[in-house]
A and B are shown apart, each in its own frame.
Chain A
């Protein structure tokens, strides 16, 4: 299956795009997604370990399964306020 991952801030600049498509096996988890992003976009390699993944606008645990219709985003360390 193919999932779309939205990128923001530093991740968006490093990857030079605000969205990447990632090919995953059915039933893949958030941690598999994160590893796959790292292989597909080596420029995100350093940012990934400190980033979180949001699935359907909520921070996801690493063992959550993702689906192709999910709204997925890579959340670098936040700095609002």
Chain B
């Protein structure tokens, strides 16, 4: 299976964990990003993710490569969903294996932070009474230009 996935179906998280498992790796760290039912005080109904597909795939590949270069990891797999996402569904999943746990934790954190900054994917939030494109990474308020 491909270790970099941009897909509209449910992410097969167990398969990604197995994909990075190797005999020398004593640690596998994972991160799952899930759809929250609230944002900035609004009751969220669902999200729609849009991607610039070919570039998004390339940037995910680059992030995986950079994680391998920066951290002592054995392997990394990243999956990101596109299309409509319901509450509590995972929109992104990262699995990293390493000999010892610090590298896997660090690479996992690095990968999700870079994904939020660099991958051309946008989410539109549908809430009670409206819809809005979310601009910029993170869970806090971001002003333009940040």
Residues of A within 8 A of B (CB): 6, 8-10, 13, 46, 49-50, 54, 57-59, 73, 75-81
In the complex, the answer to whether B116 meets A81 with C-beta atoms within 8 Å is yes
Q: Are A80 and B55 in contact (CB under 8 A)?
A: no
Contact among B52, B91, B142, B145 for A81, CB-based, below 8 A: B91
> Provided the pairs A54-B52, A57-B55 are in contact, do residues A80 and B123 lie with their beta carbons within 8 angstroms?
yes
A76 adjacent to B122 (CB under 8 Å) = yes
Known: A10-B133, A50-B135. A78 touches B91 (CB 8 A): no
Tell whether A77 pairs with B136 under 8 Å between CB atoms, given A6-B52, A9-B124, A57-B58: yes
| B92 & A79 in contact (Cβ 8 Å cutoff) | no
A76 to B51, CA, bound (A): 11
The answer to whether B92 and A80 touch across the interface, beta carbons within 8 angstroms, is yes
Which residues of chain A are within 8 angstroms of B123 by Cβ–Cβ distance?
79-80
Minimum C-beta distance from A78 to chain B (A): 6
Closest to B49 in A: A80
Note all chain A residues with C-beta closer than 8 A to B50: 8-9
Q: How far is the CA of A51 from the CA of B145 in the complex (A)?
A: 9
Q: Closest 5 interchain pairs by CB?
A: A80-B121, A9-B122, A57-B55, A77-B135, A79-B134
Could you tell me the distance in whole angstroms from the C-beta of B103 to the nearest C-beta in chain A? 21
B70 at the interface (CB under 8 A from A): no
Q: B109 to nearest A CB, angstroms?
A: 12
Q: Is A78 touching B55 in the complex (CB atoms < 8 A)?
A: no
On whether the beta carbons of B52 and A79 are closer than 8 Å, the reply is no
Which residue of A6, A9, A49, A73 contacts B144 across the interface (Cβ within 8 Å)?
Answer: A49
How far apart are the CA atoms of A8 and B55 in the complex, in Å?
Answer: 12
Contact A75 B52, beta carbon cutoff 8 Å: yes
Chain A contacts of B135 at CB under 8 A?
10, 50, 76-77, 79
User: With A9-B133, A10-B133, A50-B135 given, is the CB distance from A80 to B52 under 8 Å?
Assistant: no
